[in-house]
Amino acid sequence: MRSITEQFHEQYYDSGVWRNTFWLGVETLKCPLDLWIYQEIIFDLRPRYIIECGTAAGGSALYLASLCDLLGDGEVITIDVEERAGRPSHRRIKYLHGSSVDQEVVDEVKALIKDAGPVMVILDSDHRREHVLNELHIYSEIVTAESYLIVEDTNVNGHPVFQLHGAGPMEAVEQFLRETDDFVADREREKFFLTFNPKGYLRKLKR
Ligand X SMILES: C[S@@+](CC[C@H](N)C(=O)[O-])C[C@H]1O[C@@H](n2cnc3c(N)ncnc32)[C@H](O)[C@@H]1O
Residues in contact with ligand X by CB under 6 A are: 28-30, 53-57, 59-60, 79-82, 99-100, 124-126
The least CB distance from residue 53 to ligand X, in Å, is 5
Quote the CA–CA distance of 178 and 137 in Å, as a whole number: 13
- Cβ at position 4, least distance to ligand X in Å: 26
**Cβ neighbours for 3, distance < 8 A, ≥ 6 positions apart:** none
53 or 161: CB nearest ligand X = 53
* Cβ proximity to ligand X, 60 vs 147, nearer residue: 60
Task: Report the alpha-carbon distance of residue 49 to residue 142 in Å, rounded.
Answer: 11
* 32: nearest Cα among 54, 60, 57: 60
What is d(CA 169, CA 151) in angstroms, rounded to the nearest whole number? 7
User: Which residue lies nearer to ligand X by CB, 157 or 182?
Assistant: 157
Indicate the residue among 38 and 176 with the shorter CB distance to ligand X.
Answer: 38
Q: Can you list the alpha helix ranges (DSSP code H) found in the chain? A: 4-15, 32-45, 59-71, 103-113, 129-139, 169-179
For ligand X, give the closer residue by CB, 150 or 202: 150
Whole-angstrom Cα distance, residue 80 to residue 76?
A: 13
Minimum separation from the CB atom of position 2 to ligand X (A): 25
Residue 79: CB minimum distance to ligand X, A = 5
Question: Which is closer to ligand X, CB of 126 or CB of 182?
Answer: 126
CA distances 199 to 12, 58, 125, Å, are: 19, 25, 17
State the minimum distance, in angstroms, from the CB of residue 156 to ligand X. Answer: 11
CA–CA distance, 89 with 104 (Å, rounded to integer): 24
The nearest distance, CB 200 to ligand X, in angstroms, is 13
